[in-house]
Amino acid sequence: MDILFEGLARQDYEAALKEGDFDMYLNVYQTSLVPSLTQVLGSNGTHNYGKYTNPNLDGLLVSYRQVETDEQYVNQLNALGR
């Protein structure tokens, strides 16, 4: 298996992501203490460059953002991992 690591200028990198012109990419996201995973994992997420779609996951992401206690937060995060 041959692997090619290609460093791109930021402008070219962002264009490749938006066009889906990649096999795999590496990126860093800065989030809040309670991150919104919807941007990366949601079907319509702005950083869902792989265009992954799963209605069940979308529902879990919505309910995860509506928690009120630490226990609910932990339960929702665990549900995301299933």
Structure tokens at 59: 């529902």
Q: Which residues of the chain have pLDDT under 70?
A: 33-34, 82
Residue 21 dihedral angles phi and psi, to the nearest 5°: -90, 65
- Give the single-character DSSP code of 50: T
Q: 76, exposed or middle or buried, with CB in 10 Å at 0-12, 13-18, 19+?
A: middle
58 residue type, one letter: D
State the pLDDT at residue 71.
85
Contact assessment for residue 52 and residue 67, using Cβ atoms and an 8 Å cutoff? no
Q: How many residues does the chain have?
A: 82
Per domain, the residue ranges of the chain are: 29-80
Structure tokens at 70: 């630490």
State the pLDDT at residue 82.
66
